[in-house]
Amino acid sequence: VDPVGFLVKTGVSDRAFAQFLRDRHKALKDRRWELYSRFIDLKEGSSGYELLGMHRHRQHRVDFMDWAPGARYCSLIGDFNQWSATENCAREGHLGHDDFGYWFVILEDKLREGQEPDEYFFQEYNYVDDYDKGDNGVDAKDLIRRMNEEYWEPGEVTSRKSRWETVAKLYEQMFGPNGPQTEEELGEIPDAETRYKNWKATQKDESSSSSPSYDIIDTGQEFDIFNVVTDRASFEKFQAKATPLAYWVEMRKGRKAWIEKYVPAISHKDKYRIYFNTPDGALERVPAWATYVLPDAEGMQSYAVHWEPPPEEIYKWRFGRPKVKGSLRIYECHVGISGSEQKISSFQEFTSNVLPHIKNAGYNAVQIIGVLEHKDYSSVGYKVTNYFAVSSRFGTPDDFKKLVDEAHGLGLLVLIDIVHSYASADEMVGLSLFDGSNDCYFHSGKRGHHKYWGTRMFKYDDVDVLHFLLSNLSWWVTEYKIDGFQFHSLSSMLYTHNGFSTFTGAIEEYCNQYVDKDALIYLILANEMLHELHPDIITIAEDATYYPGLCEPTTQGGLGFDYWANLSIPEMWLWHLENVPEREWSMNKIMKVLISSNHHMLSYVENHNQSISGRKSFAEIILNTGMCSSGSVDDDLIFKASSLLKIIKLITFTTSGGAYLNFMGNEFAHPKRVEFPMSSNEYSFHLACRQWELLDKGVHKHIFNFDKDIMSLDENERVTSRGSLNVHHCDDTNMVISFTRGPFLFVFNFNPEVPYQLYRVGVDEAGEYQLILNTDETKYGGRGELKSSQYMKKTSDRRADGCRNSLELALASRSAQVYKLVRILRI
């Protein structure tokens, strides 16, 4: 491990920042020791969901556990006990809670009328696994008799009347029935080897016996419990014996016997909450580890729902995780606004209608925002209230499992936006003041509140908070087979000013007093845990400040992410579209933003941020909704606007660092922005839906065909996986950009007025270049000015752009072309 290793790679030589990284590494080792002293390793430290929350125990009961160190009394209330605060409470002392503040409540199943309690207190039942086994009426005494007859050999199991019985028999074997009674009578004792040989001579050779033999003489070598000397032949005989475990399993009864004898302590879909008695009074909260929550039930308080469907109704996974080769082509979407109707769409509707479209459009991953439960729908799902629950607005946990499973069946990875940078400040359904104290999950005082968004900030230096957050990541991967995460708004957690400060790019801004070292340590632990336990997982960092080392290995001082989202690209395009006349666009400035550091870079033209909260989508800015209504491809204004949108899409995609993202609807230039129902629009769903009917109409159809062919080009040619770019030509006067990537040549003419008939660009490799993509084709809404005879170009030996060879190309205004080197000429 080199805590400053990536600085050499990136060429950073700041002494203060290097010292900060070393100090952070020391703090990381201390945090690991603190975490491992409680949870052994990262696997156990991220498996809290196996114990906390509500789980059915094998011995006809339900166990509940939650963390509330500030509470003095804990009980469960709900439909199952008529919301009584005293019927199902934690027991006194350490039987009910431990020194760390974890409360334990047992809900015993109730005997049905006329049924007798189980004969054995350890009686277990099959609830889910092999639930149809058991119920065969086999008595425990009969099983024990069978074990004695079928497993144990004669003499292996003997009963002893006294604890001295074995010692007495051994003494008799050594000295005979009338052995010496005093030390004087004992005389001189032969050495151990002689005594063993004398004893061995009196034994019968029973090679068929499976009892171990010990024909080994101690040579003085030291042995311990992990290195025991034994006879190999006897060991193999012992290993060949049938295990008695099958008999013990048969003593478990099946689900049918359990249903016949017991009434479940809490039934499937029962509503419940957790009740605390705190120094400030009684509180009712939704459990922090609840897996299904109704946060905004009309006319009543929020509550958790016990989700335990019968085994025959549990969702059965059909497909495994797909393997994606090459670059990531991510389709970002929100389930609630994915329908064409003005309502909240469901997981089922998304699975049936949107997933096939994503596959048809050529994307290989889907990133869903707003999956985690949230009370405020207008927050787009970023003010999370319940971290282990899917949003109940869209459906049940099994509905979401089906969505993920069907996506995997289509070969699509499923990523979700995870919001561990802050949490909702809602007290009734969220984590704020969960146990009555102000510092349970969050910092107290000003540091515990986001300066502008009214959310709460996690306390990343607390082991139990780390346990909660790490377990939350592992839960989504294990329970729902999620393939990756985009960590939302890292700048909110990395700095005590929540990222709302002017950044000049100076390196000291990443290691001053405003940097939250504990948040950085959490991100390192999260990436180490995810990549250690789930090697194929994908993690994406969304950080507007571009913290150094985001995608560098944690062993080299980095944070360990796989990709980082370049938020400057959409902001750059938005600034140009709204504020700069098109004839004054600077090609050098555009390329500087696009390729400033495209190592592991996720690029996008726009995501939901560019068309939400009162802002317009790019299609709304470029195409203009009024002009689109005509649907005429011959309209000169629509032609110019769509041409610009196409080359913006192409240059952003081809300069990405192996990952590209598109927000739902932008692939066909959706003409409306996104606006969730809120008080300012009288809770209207008018802009909280997508106009899918435009897919087959006019300019939208042409842009979708173009976007689809870009994805197909990358699927077949691995364009964005070809290494780094080599920019040969970037002319602000002519507004032309040319660069190569592997065997591909990309040429862009941003000039809105001037076409070029013979424009010369330089190339390194001499040969024949074939046109494989042209934005001016008629199927993309272009004019098709390039003839088929111009699709194959041969280099000349005339130098251009510092290259030994060059090509003369015909470039229409506002167009782009992609050429592939198909034949190399050796000179």
Positions annotated as catalytic residues are 542
Handedness of CA 338, 343, 347, 350 (dihedral sign): negative
Cα pseudo-dihedral 628, 631, 637, 638, rounded to 10: 70
Contact (CB, 8 A) for 712 and 655: no
Which tokens is 465 given? Answer: 């908070």
User: Rounded to whole angstroms, how far apart are CA atoms 13 and 3?
Assistant: 14
Q: Is 736 helix (H, G, I), strand (E, B) or coil?
A: strand
CB atoms within 10 A of CB 765: 15
User: Rounded to whole angstroms, how far apart are CA atoms 103 and 96?
Assistant: 6
CB atoms within 10 A of CB 804: 15
User: Rounded to whole angstroms, how far apart are CA atoms 752 and 730?
Assistant: 16
Residue written as token pair 């509330």: 68
Residues 6+ apart with CB under 8 A from 751: 583, 734, 735, 736, 813, 814
Q: Which DSSP letter does residue 353 get? A: I
Residue written as token pair 């704020």: 432
Write out the E strands in 237-319: 262-263, 271-278, 281-285, 293-294, 303-305
User: Rounded to whole angstroms, how far apart are CA atoms 741 and 389?
Assistant: 44
User: Rounded to whole angstroms, how far apart are CA atoms 774 and 785?
Assistant: 10
Give φ, ψ of 807 to 5 degrees. Answer: -125, 145
User: Rounded to whole angstroms, how far apart are CA atoms 13 and 8?
Assistant: 8
As to burial, measured by CB atoms within 10 angstroms (0-12 exposed, 13-18 middle, 19+ buried), residue 264 is buried
Residue written as token pair 């074939």: 770
User: Rounded to whole angstroms, how far apart are CA atoms 601 and 797?
Assistant: 35
Radius of gyration of the chain (CA): 35
Write out the E strands in 509-573: 538-541, 563-565
User: Rounded to whole angstroms, how far apart are CA atoms 432 and 455?
Assistant: 9
User: Rounded to whole angstroms, how far apart are CA atoms 79 and 268?
Assistant: 11
CB atoms within 10 A of CB 439: 15
Strands 384-390 and 372-374: antiparallel
Which tokens is 561 given? Answer: 């992410």
Residues in the chain, overall count = 827
CA-wise closest residue to 453 among 515, 500, 523: 500
CB atoms within 10 A of CB 568: 16
CA-wise closest residue to 126 among 381, 374, 311: 311
Residues paired with 416 in a beta bridge: 368, 485
Write out the E strands in 430-514: 484-487
User: Rounded to whole angstroms, how far apart are CA atoms 526 and 544?
Assistant: 20
Which tokens is 285 given? Answer: 């909260």
Contact (CB, 8 A) for 760 and 807: yes
User: Rounded to whole angstroms, how far apart are CA atoms 702 and 783?
Assistant: 12
Which tokens is 382 given? Answer: 């970023």
Strands 271-278 and 484-487: unpaired
Q: Taking each helix axis from N to C terminus, what angle separates 587-594 and 568-579, rounded to the nearest 10 degrees?
A: 160
